[in-house]
Amino acid sequence: MLSSRPYLLRAVHEWIVDSGLTPHLIADAEHPELDVPNSARQDGRVVLNVSPSAVRDLLIDGELVTFVARFGGVSRAVTVPMAAVQAIYARENGRGMMFPDEEEGEASEADQEEAPIDEEEARKRRPGPNLRVVK
CATH number of the domain encompassing residue 85: 2.30.30.220
Q: How many domains does the chain have?
A: 1
Instruction: Give yes or no for residue 34 having a pLDDT over 90.
Output: yes
Q: Is residue 67 part of a domain?
A: yes
Helices (H), 3-73: 5-18
Q: Produce one character per residue of 77-101: b if its CB has 16 or more CB atoms within 10 Å, e if not.
A: ebebbbbbbbbbbbeeeeebeebee
Confidence at residue 2, expressed as pLDDT on a 0 to 100 scale: 85
Confidence at residue 117, expressed as pLDDT on a 0 to 100 scale: 53
Q: Is residue 129 part of a domain?
A: no
Q: Is residue 122 part of a domain?
A: no
Give yes or no for a contact between 86 and 65, defined as CB atoms under 8 angstroms apart: no
Average pLDDT score over the chain? 84
Confidence at residue 1, expressed as pLDDT on a 0 to 100 scale: 81
Q: Is residue 127 part of a domain?
A: no
Q: Which tens digits make up the pLDDT trace of 101-130?
A: 764 444 444 444 555 556 666 555 556 565
Strand partners, 49: 24
Confidence at residue 122, expressed as pLDDT on a 0 to 100 scale: 58
- Tell me which residue range forms the domain holding 76: 5-102
Q: Work out the pLDDT band at 3, boundaries 50, 70, 90.
A: confident
Confidence at residue 7, expressed as pLDDT on a 0 to 100 scale: 94
> What percent of the chain clears pLDDT 70, i.e. is strictly above it?
77
State the Cα–Cα distance between residues 8 and 5, nearest whole angstrom. 5
Instruction: Give yes or no for residue 27 having a pLDDT over 60.
Output: yes
